[in-house]
């Protein structure tokens, strides 16, 4: 019998997100689970089909192979990279519904992975472009100094929980299901501390700080994240620690702004240089360069300095530095300077089209606008 399409089995689109896949799997697995359908002979096969579809589509590598080659891409008999049956009913049920009912089917205390941490790292544009190594002080859980991490005031070892007998879980009947639930007395640890430490309430852990050295690669940008595996909070009951995610925050630069691999800056020039042209010294991250300003340059004119930008952390060519010219009007003029400007203005009168073509064109447009409005 030919296998059905995995997306059809779960009732999702081919572009479904991971969260949608899990939601659909929960719904279908609950509906077709053999424990809930004891009178249906095909319930077990349906559940296996649903389980197989989810195990393939929830694995990005297997899903890519399936999307490209169909069932042949994930069939173990077709070669490497194929699908393998893996977990049985209990394993799959625990992984999907454990967060609903508070635990799996197995006995004993359950190990929990530690929480991930986030740290916002502020840094200068220069350091972000060049790369650097920075030491950061991160708030996290550490071993309680009062009880040396034992959780007990007296140092006595914990005693076995009487509610679950040290299993960490108790059996609960919920509708069609008989499931294991985390013990409410010991919260899954399987043991209790009779005289908990006042500082840490018996957890053996307290809030503290640790110093970590972070290597920032060259070319990072605002919003990029650096993952430090195992540097998050410690796990519980022997579980692995979480990760630390360092979020890069590039401080505002007084001269440059970043646009992908390019840098941008405004270059103010006086109207004499704008009219007659000249050379101007402009900064780059590598030092100073001379920028040639041609005669009759207008505000907004952009000059591109090749390879004076940034090489992105993701690779590619070095960007450019784009300088945008802003013609600055002189201020705080003395009487003599004002008189000179008036004389200069008189010398331009009667030749507006020649000396100020944009202004003349704009005035002509305004005149035409009012004339048309008058006769409309």
Model confidence pLDDT, tens digit, residues 82-104: 443 344 444 444 444 444 444 44
CA distance 376 to 370: 10
Q: Which among 243, 137, 151 is positioned nearest to 206, based on CA atoms?
A: 151
pLDDT of residue 101: 42
306 with 263: CB under 8 angstroms? no
Would you say residue 107 lies in a domain? no
Domain match, 128 and 243 both: yes
Tell me: the pLDDT tens digits for 29-49? 888 887 778 778 788 888 888
Tally the domains of the chain: 4
HSE-CB for 122 with a 13 A CA cutoff: 3
CATH number where 198 lies: 2.10.230.10
CA distance 228 to 242: 9
Confidence of residue 356 (pLDDT cuts 50, 70, 90): confident
Confidence of residue 310 (pLDDT cuts 50, 70, 90): very high
Tell me: the pLDDT tens digits for 330-347? 999 999 999 999 998 888
Range of the domain at 354: 335-375
Percent of the chain topping pLDDT 90: 36
pLDDT of residue 176: 58
Tell me: the pLDDT tens digits for 121-178? 999 999 999 999 999 999 888 778 888 878 888 888 888 888 888 877 787 666 556 6
Percent of the chain topping pLDDT 70: 84
Which position has the token pair 């979020």? 247
Would you say residue 1 lies in a domain? no
Among 226, 250, 274, the domain boundary falls at 250
Q: Which pTM value belongs to this model?
A: 0.57
Domain match, 129 and 182 both: yes
Span 346-375, average pLDDT: 73
Contacts 24+ apart (CB under 8 A), 340-346: none
Domain match, 90 and 146 both: no
Domain match, 218 and 275 both: no
pLDDT at 201 over 90: no
pLDDT at 295 over 70: yes
Distance of CA 258 to the CA centre of its chain: 19
Domain match, 227 and 301 both: no
pLDDT of residue 352: 55
Span 231-258, average pLDDT: 88
Domain match, 231 and 122 both: yes
Would you say residue 200 lies in a domain? yes
pLDDT of residue 219: 94
Rounded alpha-carbon distances, angstroms, from residue 274 to 80, 277, 278, 291, 344? 68, 6, 8, 13, 16
Domain match, 135 and 210 both: yes
Would you say residue 106 lies in a domain? no
Confidence of residue 262 (pLDDT cuts 50, 70, 90): very high
204 with 144: CB under 8 angstroms? yes
Averaged pLDDT score across all residues of the chain? 82
pLDDT of residue 2: 66
Among 296, 311, 328, the domain boundary falls at 328
Cβ atoms < 10 Å from Cβ of 137: 10
Q: Which residue has the higher pLDDT, 194 or 215?
A: 215
Domain match, 174 and 137 both: yes
Would you say residue 273 lies in a domain? yes
Angle at 279 between CA 273 and CA 282, to 5 degrees: 110
Among 215, 250, 285, the domain boundary falls at 250
pLDDT at 225 over 70: yes
pLDDT of residue 17: 87
Token representation of residue 232: 């998050």
pLDDT at 359 over 80: no
Which has the minimum average pLDDT: 134-148, 278-292, 347-361? 347-361
Cβ atoms < 10 Å from Cβ of 73: 19
Domain match, 154 and 214 both: yes
Full strand arrangement of the beta sheet holding 262-270:
257-259, 262-270, 321-328, 302-305
CATH number where 51 lies: 1.10.287.110
């Amino acid at each position: 019998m030919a296998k059905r399409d995995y997306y059809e089995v779960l009732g999702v689109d081919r572009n479904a997100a991971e969260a949608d896949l899990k939601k659909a799997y929960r719904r279908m697995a609950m509906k077709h689970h053999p424990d809930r359908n004891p009178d249906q002979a095909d319930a077990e096969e349906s559940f296996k089909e649903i389980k197989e579809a989810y195990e393939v589509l929830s694995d990005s590598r297997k899903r890519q192979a399936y999307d490209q080659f169909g069932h042949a891409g994930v069939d173990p008999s077709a070669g490497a990279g194929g699908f393998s049956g893996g977990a049985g009913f209990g394993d799959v049920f625990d992984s999907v519904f454990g967060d609903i009912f508070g635990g799996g089917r197995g006995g004993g205390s359950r190990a929990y992975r530690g929480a991930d941490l986030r740290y916002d790292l502020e840094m200068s544009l220069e350091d972000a472009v060049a790369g650097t190594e920075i030491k950061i002080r991160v708030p996290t859980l550490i071993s309680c100094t009062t009880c040396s991490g034992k959780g007990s005031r007296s140092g006595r070892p914990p005693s076995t929980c009487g509610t679950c007998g040290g299993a960490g879980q108790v059996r609960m009947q919920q509708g069609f299901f008989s499931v294991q639930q985390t013990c409410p007395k010991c919260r899954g640890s399987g043991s209790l501390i009779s005289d908990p430490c006042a500082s840490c309430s018996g957890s053996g852990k307290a809030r503290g700080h640790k110093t970590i050295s972070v290597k920032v690669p060259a070319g990072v940008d605002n919003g990029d994240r650096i993952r430090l595996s195992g540097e998050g909070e410690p796990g519980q009951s022997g579980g692995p620690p979480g990760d630390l995610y360092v979020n890069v925050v590039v401080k505002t630069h007084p001269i440059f702004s970043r646009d992908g691999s390019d840098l941008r800056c405004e270059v103010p020039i006086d109207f004499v240089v704008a009219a007659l042209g000249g050379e101007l010294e402009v900064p780059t991250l590598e030092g100073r360069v001379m920028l040639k300003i041609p005669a009759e340059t207008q505000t907004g004119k952009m000059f591109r300095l090749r390879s004076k930008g940034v090489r992105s952390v993701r690779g590619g060519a070095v960007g450019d530095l784009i300088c945008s010219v802003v013609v600055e009007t002189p201020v705080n003029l003395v009487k003599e300077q004002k008189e000179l400007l008036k004389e200069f203005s008189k010398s331009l009168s009667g030749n507006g089209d020649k000396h100020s073509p944009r202004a003349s064109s704009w005035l002509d447009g305004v005149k035409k606008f009012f004339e048309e409005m008058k006769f409309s």
